[in-house]
Copies of this chain bind each other. A is one copy, B any other.
Amino acid sequence: MNEAQNPSEANHPNPGRISLVGIGPGSVEHMTLRARAAIAEADVVIGYVTYIKLVADLLEGKEIVRKGMTEELDRAVSALEQARLGKKVALISSGDAGVYGMAGPTYEVLFQAGWTPDDPVQLEIVPGASAINACASRVGAPLTHDFCSISLSDLLTPWPTIARRLDAAAAADFVVALYNPKSGRRTRQIVEAQRLFLRHRRPDTPVAVVKSAYRRRERIEFTTLDRMSECEIGMLSTVLIGNSNTVIQHGLMVTPRGYANKYDLSEGGETRAGERPGRSLSTGLLGWLEGLQADHAAGDSIEVLAARHRLPPDYIRATLSEALEDEPVEAATEEAA
């Protein structure tokens, strides 16, 4: 033993570690190398039975703690206890450990117990593909544009908070993934989500219901927003709602990235008039600001401009009050020539 060691290490000659491992969708081949290594290195593996079975080949000689559904805090406490004994603990989550996963509760429990990053017990989070990524890859390419993830579970979140997020995501035309859409007890949440979405979105907005992506009982159902709540949706389902441009074509759900805004895709990909390859759209921030200033100078009021662009009047006012600095449009046009 080296006397220069810091005292906490001296008290824990073999400091433990907690690895929060996201194993991805739940097939061995979609786990990362690090996820498998963290499990292989562990003395103790904690997780749901289903996920533990997936890594059966790595478990020889390890202590296994199988846990049920509503024991997140218990699992974190138990992981810390084991790590304090100098053990390496792997705590398994499906998908990404940080997305509605064990990372949050574990930090909450560790902070409560006085743990800090200087503690001899080290914490590692191993990221993985979350359900939104796995489900998207099975239905086509729905996440090519801005998206939200919203959990419909009200076990820890008041309904008005969830409802405000559904309303905002629907209004602002996000692609949306609904996690925990329905359970035996929670059946009305998906009906309310549909009601909130239909206030802003077309009834024929494409929807995909994906159950158990990459697992044996995988099931994909395409539908539309107005029929969403009639689908077979359960605890293992993720619901993907497209934005106003999303299409289902040849049985694939695809959200265009926006190339059609800049290129004429039917004419061999020629750039549209006024647009430049590799540069902001003419309706991008600076082009838009220039147009806004011109319209305002021509007599359009703040309120008229706010209504036209569906943005708050005080935002329009604030941004109009600042000079255009970067890349004035005239100079940029010359540059691109």
Contact = CB atoms under 8 A, between A and B. Distances in A.
Interface stretch (A42-50, A80-88, A142-150): A142-150
A192 interface: yes
How many copies of this chain are found per oligomer?
A: 2
Interface string A315-333: 1001100000111000000
A195 B318 CA distance: 9
Interface stretch (A51-59, A170-178, A201-209): A170-178
A6 interface: no
Most buried by B among A22, A168, A327: A168
A149 B148 CA distance: 6
Interface string A100-143: 11011111100110001100000001111110011011101111
Given A33-B30, A187-B326, A195 B311 contact: no
Interface in A253-287: 254-259, 261-263, 265-266, 269, 277-281, 283-287
Interface string A230-255: 00000000000000000001111011
A314 interface: yes
A278 B326 contact: no
B116 A250 contact: yes
B288 A158 contact: yes
B108 A156 contact: no
Interface in A190-241: 192, 195-196, 199
Given A154-B285, A172-B169, A279-B155, A315 B125 contact: no
A2 interface: no
B285 A159 contact: yes
Given A96-B129, A146-B149, A149-B146, A155 B117 contact: no
A137 to B, nearest CB: 4
B116 A286 contact: no
Contact of A107 (B34, B36, B140): B140
A34 to B, nearest CB: 4
A310 B156 contact: no
Interface of A: 22, 24-25, 28-34, 36-37, 69-70, 72-73, 96-101, 103-108, 111-112, 116-117, 125-130, 133-134, 136-138, 140-151, 154-165, 167-169, 171-174, 185-189, 192, 195-196, 199, 249-252, 254-259, 261-263, 265-266, 269, 277-281, 283-289, 309-312, 314-315, 318-319, 325-327
21 contacts: A29-B37, A30-B33, A72-B257, A73-B259, A73-B263, A73-B269, A103-B140, A103-B141, A108-B256, A127-B134, A127-B137, A129-B133, A130-B130, A156-B262, A156-B281, A159-B283, A159-B285, A186-B285, A189-B285, A192-B285, A195-B318
